């Protein structure tokens, strides 16, 4: 199964190298941190709170093998990634590990350089 794009976002000058993300389901916003100096936090509206699926039912309690948890590939030998993603630090695995640890059923874990499931170009 390959991921499918559902839209596009044009960033302002300087808002490049999106490196980290968090979503505020209740507020209807996603926040992205840039890999720039100084860092920038980009706030993006993702729809009305009622339009967002519940993280608990969509991820935490999802049927086994129905969620793809895509870890950042920190190996500098796999650079450039081609999709604009930057190389990650080992500490970037922490947040994903917390989510994975909360899942009720075993899910699929891959790297962001896995061409069978992640669009690299």
Q: Give the model's confidence band at 106: pLDDT under 50 very low, under 70 low, under 90 confident, else very high.
A: very high
Euclidean distance between CA atoms 74 and 38, whole angstroms: 22
The model's pLDDT over 64-105, given as tens digits with 9 standing for 90+, comes to 988 888 877 777 676 666 656 666 666 666 767 777 888 889
pLDDT (tens digit per residue) in 7-65: 667 788 888 777 777 777 667 778 888 878 888 888 888 765 554 456 667 777 888 98
């Amino acid at each position: 199964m390959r991921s499918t794009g559902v839209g596009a976002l044009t960033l302002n000058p300087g808002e490049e190298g999106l490196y980290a993300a968090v979503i505020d389901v209740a507020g209807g916003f996603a926040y992205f941190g840039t890999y720039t100096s100084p860092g920038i936090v980009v706030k993006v509206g993702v729809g009305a709170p009622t339009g967002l699926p519940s993280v608990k039912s969509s991820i935490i309690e999802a049927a086994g093998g129905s969620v793809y948890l895509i870890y950042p590939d920190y190996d500098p030998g796999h650079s450039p990634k081609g999709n604009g993603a930057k190389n990650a630090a080992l500490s970037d695995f922490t947040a994903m590990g917390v989510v994975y640890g909360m899942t009720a059923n075993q899910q699929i874990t891959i790297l962001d350089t896995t061409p069978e499931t992640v669009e690299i170009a």
